[in-house]
Amino acid sequence: MDDREARMALCCAVEPGNLEVTAAVDEQGAEAVLASLREPGSRSRWAARAQAVDLAAVHRATRRNRLRFVVPGDPDWPAALDDLSTGEPVQKMGGMPFGLWLKGEGSLAAVAERSVAIVGSRAATAYGQSVATDLAAGLGMQGVSVVSGGAYGIDAAAHAGALAATAPTVAVMAGGLDSTYPPGNASLLHRVAGHGLLVSELPPGEHPTRARFLSRNRLIAALCPATIIVEAAWRSGARNTVSWANACRRIVLAVPGPVHSATSATPHRLIRDAEAVLCTGVADVLELVGPLGRQPPSRPDQRSWVDRLSADELAVYEVLPGRGQVDAGEVSLRAGVSLASCLAILDRLAEQGLVEPGPDGWRLAGERVTRTGD
Amino acid sequence: MDDREARMALCCAVEPGNLEVTAAVDEQGAEAVLASLREPGSRSRWAARAQAVDLAAVHRATRRNRLRFVVPGDPDWPAALDDLSTGEPVQKMGGMPFGLWLKGEGSLAAVAERSVAIVGSRAATAYGQSVATDLAAGLGMQGVSVVSGGAYGIDAAAHAGALAATAPTVAVMAGGLDSTYPPGNASLLHRVAGHGLLVSELPPGEHPTRARFLSRNRLIAALCPATIIVEAAWRSGARNTVSWANACRRIVLAVPGPVHSATSATPHRLIRDAEAVLCTGVADVLELVGPLGRQPPSRPDQRSWVDRLSADELAVYEVLPGRGQVDAGEVSLRAGVSLASCLAILDRLAEQGLVEPGPDGWRLAGERVTRTGD
């Protein structure tokens, strides 16, 4: 049995996000952990399930449903998921999945690299659904894929918006990909599989459970550089996804709405408590997750300006590279300044002519300054 | 001529918020400044107007319109207006008014002490007007007076809400109080004068101008501990009031709304850039401007907890007094932590059982901790 087979068996034997087993796999490898679970005297709670796994049947079900099974190290494996297992956050993060079943043609790694999660209530309002659809379509047209959970309400609106823009979209499911849940979204999820990807860490035949929905949320949060919460009750799955996203140090955005709307109370509270950045549209998202690449002017001598900056302003200014543009989310991380402060500081620096927003992020406003020094 | 008469004459001769003259009055006193303006050879732009002032006529108009004229040092003079002239901010703050005409029975000083400004667009939506009315009525029922500008839209909705709660409300006008502007609000402003106060730094007979509206905004911002912006275009008078409020280091709150609504774009941008705290209702306001006074338990020994706090958390925790409650705005100021961070920290400290929200602000959660130590 090789690593891939062992990981498939672990997916069948162990509930998603079990920290004990994922930590053991990180340390000893999948084959050793599976072998120890299968030892006759094993006292693990997963021993019976591990011994009962029929891998041949799982392979048959995988083929029959036209699924792929990918594991860490495969080209399709998204590097972002490593954040679920590295270092101290492992205690909170529920661990990396042992493997993932995929349905659809695309590369999950490529799609996830430039993606945004859009999450929210099943019991969404027409307002929330229209915002989710517009955001997803607008992001799709900018080449940003939308990841969500395939549920009714905000999730469905987000997938539909991405599909309307003929952009790939990813639905991360809490059960096996042989059936679609919820049943009312079967047609939508079929289209997602056709133009994007369905993803699950559970083998065909497994049904979603409450615990599996919560574990699934960590995958949505970890896959994407940013998560947008549109409408949600405080104790909702979407709120749980936001907690994962914050724990993964991902960018979190929240969409405001009418103050009388109960489903906007959670986004409002997240914004108020600085757990999320206010998001009114695609531009707010792209400012935070924009691509890198263009050639900016070289760093000019701005010593006299720099001397007047506060410590935080200097930190933000200094992390902007001599060449290239960086999105505000990245600036915030590198400078160690909260996102909200970072945005305010970038605006102040822009007012002083030190930096400027470019098409692909923030950059030094070097050319202009050099010219005024002529 | 005494100080009061000189100030009345300066109100007639000099446009509101003229930094040069207000600074001279701070330094030399009103009588000396007026005398120098009236000197035959004076080259001041205000000289002609100063020489033409007919104080007897102004007194007659003041009496005829049942107005009072108050100056710094009077019991009715709101101490908060001193912030317009003290120290370095004077360069930005447009100076203290020389005096104020009041219409109505109440004490402006008493009303301003526990007040909130509600400002926004004349071209408000039904949503914005309903939020403004609800906020004003709710604040009124909590003993908080509402200050606004008497204009159509958000201003009128705020005054009407306060009146509905039979709470005093203050309209600061940009012209003399002999006539009401805008004419369509005449009946509303008559009721404001009956149950609250009309206020102006311009003598009877003077009409509002664009510059006077902007100068008037500094009075609204300075009078109140907090300003709430409900709906507004970016280059609106309400946005100008928010700038004054931030310059005066007042609390600024902004009401979110649907992302498609053009009039909510300004509140959203202020919230996103951390220039305003998100406000969904009266509770959000009271948390920031709540009164002081009740008797909390004495500070318990919480050394083990305290050791685990971050520097900012410790700063917030330490400024909470052994006795009494402090609103979050005050905590933020004393601890030197931004409002948004302060709110998040207070929530975290509350989760750890270290502090708790009381009816009149935040307090140490001493009783509970002492009990668990029993």
**DSSP string computed for B63-116:** HHTT-EEE-TTSTTS-GGGGGGTSSTTHHHH----S-EEEESSS-HHHHHHTEE
Residues A240 and A91 in one domain: yes
Quote the tokens at residue A176. 């096996």
Residues B102 and B248 in one domain: yes
CB atoms within 10 A of CB A49: 16
**Which of A268, A338, A344 is the closest to B280 by Cβ?**
A268
| Pairing of the two strands A100-103 and A197-200 | antiparallel
Residues A246 and A129 in one domain: yes
pLDDT tens over chain A, length 374 residues: 799 999 999 999 999 988 889 989 989 999 999 999 999 999 999 999 999 999 999 999 999 999 999 999 999 999 999 888 755 544 556 789 999 999 999 999 999 999 999 999 999 999 999 999 999 999 999 999 999 999 999 999 999 999 999 999 999 999 999 998 999 999 999 999 999 999 999 999 999 998 899 999 999 999 999 999 999 987 788 998 998 998 888 999 999 999 999 999 999 999 999 999 999 999 999 988 865 322 233 333 434 455 677 778 877 887 787 677 888 888 887 777 788 888 888 888 888 778 888 878 888 876 433 323 32
Residues A207 and A157 in one domain: yes
Residues B145 and B206 in one domain: yes
Query: Residue B237 and residue B50: Cα distance in Å, rounded?
Result: 29
- Alpha-helix residue ranges (DSSP H) falling in A166-236: 186-195, 210-223
Q: Is residue B58 domain-resident? A: no
Q: Is residue B295 domain-resident? A: no
Q: Is residue B59 domain-resident? A: no
Q: Is residue B239 domain-resident? A: yes
Residues B220 and B94 in one domain: yes
Q: Across the beta sheet with B68-70, what order do the strands follow?
A: B68-70, B100-103, B197-200, B169-172, B145-148, B115-119, B226-229, B251-254, B277-278
Q: List Cα–Cα distances, B104 to B67, B68, B101, B171, in angstroms.
A: 8, 9, 10, 11
What CATH number did the domain enclosing A344 receive?
1.10.10.10
Cβ separation of A258 and B341 shorter than 8 Å? Answer: no
In the prediction, which pLDDT does B86 show?
Answer: 59
Cβ separation of B340 and A265 shorter than 8 Å? Answer: no
Taking the whole predicted model, whether its pTM rises above 0.80 is answered as: no
Q: Is residue A172 domain-resident? A: yes
Residues B279 and B322 in one domain: no
Residues A48 and A65 in one domain: no
Sign of CA dihedral A124, A127, A131, A134: positive
Residues A264 and A334 in one domain: no
Chain A CA closest to residue B281: A259
What CATH number did the domain enclosing A87 receive?
3.40.50.450
Chain A CA closest to residue B345: A273
Cβ separation of A256 and B277 shorter than 8 Å? Answer: no
| The total number of structural domains that make up chain A | 3
Residues A314 and A266 in one domain: no
Cβ separation of B268 and A280 shorter than 8 Å? Answer: yes
Quote the tokens at residue A249. 């140090």
Q: List Cα–Cα distances, A76 to A80, A109, A245, A264, B164, in angstroms.
A: 12, 5, 22, 36, 63
Q: List Cα–Cα distances, A110 to A35, A104, A116, A248, in angstroms.
A: 33, 13, 13, 19
Query: From the CA of B258, how many Å to the nearest CA of chain A?
Result: 4
Cβ separation of B273 and A340 shorter than 8 Å? Answer: yes
Q: Is residue A296 domain-resident? A: no
Residues A141 and A215 in one domain: yes
* Mutation site, A234, A259, A260, interface B, largest B CB count within 10 A: A259
Average pLDDT over residues B268-297: 78
Chain A residues inside the 8 Å CB shell of B281? 259
Out of B256, B288, B320, a domain closes at B288
Domain hosting residue B260, numbered range = 64-288
**Which of A255, A268, A338 is the closest to B259 by Cβ?**
A255
- B38-68 residues labelled b (16+ CB within 10 A) or e (exposed): beeeeebebbebbeebeeeebeebbeebebb
